[in-house]
Amino acid sequence: MRVGLLGGGVIARLFLEHARRGEMDNAEVVAIAGRSEASRGKALAREFAAPFVVGVKQLIEARPEVVVEAASHDAVRECAEDLLSNGIAVVVLSGGALCDDGLRARLERASAKHRTLLYLPSGGIGGLDALKAACAAGVDEVSIAVTKPPAAWKGIGYVERMKIDLDRLTGPVTLFEGTAREGVPHFPANVNIAAVLSLAGIGFDRTRLKVVADPALRFNTHFITIKGKTGIIDLRFERASPRPTTPKRRCSPATAPSRPSVNSIRPCAMAPDGRLRESTRRRYLKVDTATVADVLDVLGLRDQGLAPEFAPYPAAVGKMGGWAYTIRGRMTRYAGSGDPSKMKAVDGVGRGELTVWSGEGRGVCFFGELIALGMKRRGCAGALVDGGIRDIEWIAKQRFPVYARYRTPVQSIGRWKVTARQVPVDMPGATSKRVKVRPGDFVLADSDGVIVIPERVAAKVLAEAERLTSKERRIRRDLGRGASLEEVLKKYGHV
* Residues identified as active-site: 222
Burial of 140-172, coded b for 16+ CB within 10 Å and e otherwise, reads: eebbbbbbbbbebbeebeebeeeeeebeebeee
For residue 207, give Cα distances in angstroms to 180, 284, 353.
6, 19, 24
For residue 75, give Cα distances in angstroms to 81, 98, 397.
10, 12, 50
Q: In whole angstroms, what is the distance from residue 154 CA to residue 149 CA?
A: 10
Q: In whole angstroms, what is the distance from residue 283 CA to residue 276 CA?
A: 10
Give every CB contact of residue 270 below 8 A, 6+ residues apart in sequence: 120, 196, 199, 200
Q: Which residues pair with 455 in a beta bridge?
A: none
Q: Under a CB-based contact definition with an 8 Å cutoff, are residues 382 and 351 in contact?
A: no
Write the DSSP symbol of residue 482.
T
Q: In whole angstroms, what is the distance from residue 321 CA to residue 452 CA?
A: 10
Give every CB contact of residue 55 below 8 A, 6+ residues apart in sequence: 33, 35
Q: Say how far residue 386 (Cα) sits from the centre of its chain.
A: 26
For residue 304, give Cα distances in angstroms to 168, 291, 292, 352.
51, 13, 10, 21
Report which of 299, 323, 293 is spatially closest to residue 448, judged by C-alpha positions: 293
For residue 373, give Cα distances in angstroms to 145, 172, 338.
47, 59, 17
Q: Going by DSSP bridges, is the β-strand pair 139-148/207-213 parallel, antiparallel, or unpaired?
A: parallel
Q: Going by DSSP bridges, is the β-strand pair 449-453/442-446 parallel, antiparallel, or unpaired?
A: antiparallel
